[in-house]
Amino acid sequence: MTIVPEGLIPDLLTREASFEAVEKVFAAMAAGEAYNFPVVREAIGHEDALYGFKGGFDRTGQVLGLKAGGYWPHNLEKQGVINHQSTVFLFDPDSGRVKAMVGGNYLTALRTAAASSVSIRHLARKDAKVLGMIGAGHQATFQLRAALETHAFEKVIGWNLHPEMLPNLAKVAEEAGLAFEAVELTGMTEADVIITITSSFAPSLLAEHVSPGTHVACMGTDTKGKQEVEAALLARATVFCDEVAQSVSIGEAQHAVAEGLLAEADVVQLGAVINKSHAGRTSDAEITLFDGTGVGLQDLAVSAAIVEVAKNNGSAITVPL
């Protein structure tokens, strides 16, 4: 069994490799070659923790496994470790024997950022210049770095409910040599691409804040009740997602579907665009919206890539079973 500890992963995993792994597994999902198992998420009645499992099987990549973990809200103050904690386990699909254990914290941020980047590559207008960010927390900096590496943006604008966090975004933009401007939500009409990555339970971005032709990647809503954008925006947009079942139940689309503004059948898997079985964006005026809820197969695909690199460069720890 191969062990790749959390501390090694930032040196092993590149944004490029995460992008490739996520793009490939989205394509496999849309082709019916990979599927996610139902998500388990439980309040365990201890330390106010939410704990659960996301798993799946990718026949194309021969990757089987699960990510176990969740959210411990008091970790930072009590234990000095981050509140989100997870670990990935990979199994041999031929025998069921455990193959690898991989730290899941850093890779979760990279695989989430990779998903919005894959959506930008396949759905944003090629002439997109201004990137709008809504959210400025931990995930937002990963999202921003990945988006700037994926597309040649010329300017970054940002809004956050807590404006004192905006320097997190400014720093990343400046590192990439781009100007950063803090704006009101009404200023988001300047953006050609908008990424939302907050933990909000009420919409911040309204339909009137989004110009025709914009691509919106909604990345923060991953639980029932969370909401970042007005349901009316989904009614105006062509809606894509990582997985339809998650999008309409725990993603941004849950609200538009519940309000009768969007039908489940109208939500398209991004993998279908990657596979070219769906045209994707069809005009410069169309608003495209990606509902990225985060699927277990993303974690497994990126973990399998990490294990390969760690084995090849000798940094993996191997233990007998």
Instruction: Answer whether 303's CB lies under 8 Å from 61's CB.
Output: no
| Diameter of the chain measured on Cα atoms | 59
64 forms part of the interface with ligand NAD (CB under 6 A): no
Q: Smaller CB distance to ligand NAD: residue 2 or 303?
A: 303
From the list 24, 54, 67, 226, the catalytic residue is 67
132 forms part of the interface with ligand NAD (CB under 6 A): no
Instruction: Answer whether 206's CB lies under 8 Å from 228's CB.
Output: no
Phi/psi at 78 (5° precision): -90, -35
Compute the least distance from the CB of residue 60 to ligand NAD, in Å: 21
Stretch of 21-29, 47-55, 93-101, 133-141 lying at the interface with ligand NAD (CB under 6 A): 133-141
* Per-residue H/E/C for 93-111: CCCCCEEEEEECHHHHHHH
Stretch of 42-50, 120-128, 132-140, 281-289 lying at the interface with ligand NAD (CB under 6 A): 132-140
305 forms part of the interface with ligand NAD (CB under 6 A): no
Stretch of 11-19, 121-129, 218-226, 301-309 lying at the interface with ligand NAD (CB under 6 A): 218-226
200 forms part of the interface with ligand NAD (CB under 6 A): yes
74 forms part of the interface with ligand NAD (CB under 6 A): no
165 forms part of the interface with ligand NAD (CB under 6 A): yes
- Nearest C-alpha neighbor of 158 from the set 126, 191, 114, 128: 191
- Nearest C-alpha neighbor of 195 from the set 251, 139, 266: 139
Taking the C-alpha atoms of residue 315 and residue 147, their distance in angstroms, rounded to an integer, is 29
Compute the least distance from the CB of residue 142 to ligand NAD, in Å: 8
Give every CB contact of residue 154 below 8 A, 6+ residues apart in sequence: 129, 130, 178
E strand or H helix that includes residue 239? strand 238-241
Q: Smaller CB distance to ligand NAD: residue 110 or 257?
A: 110
Taking the C-alpha atoms of residue 83 and residue 73, their distance in angstroms, rounded to an integer, is 5
**Choice from 74, 78, 162, 224 touching ligand NAD (CB under 6 A):** 162
Within 10 Å of residue 9's Cβ, how many Cβ atoms?
21
**Choice from 119, 198, 238, 269 touching ligand NAD (CB under 6 A):** 198
234 forms part of the interface with ligand NAD (CB under 6 A): no
293 forms part of the interface with ligand NAD (CB under 6 A): yes
Size of the site for ligand NAD (CB under 6 A): 23
- Nearest C-alpha neighbor of 54 from the set 254, 208, 222, 176: 222
**Choice from 18, 85, 108, 119 touching ligand NAD (CB under 6 A):** 108
For 197-232, letters b (16+ CB in 10 Å) and e give: bbebeebbbebebbeebbbbbbbbbbbeebbbbbbb
56 forms part of the interface with ligand NAD (CB under 6 A): no
Q: Is 67 a known active-site residue? A: yes
Catalog residues that contact ligand NAD under the rule CB under 6 A.
108, 112, 135-140, 160-162, 165, 197-200, 204, 219-220, 222, 292-294
Active site residues: 67
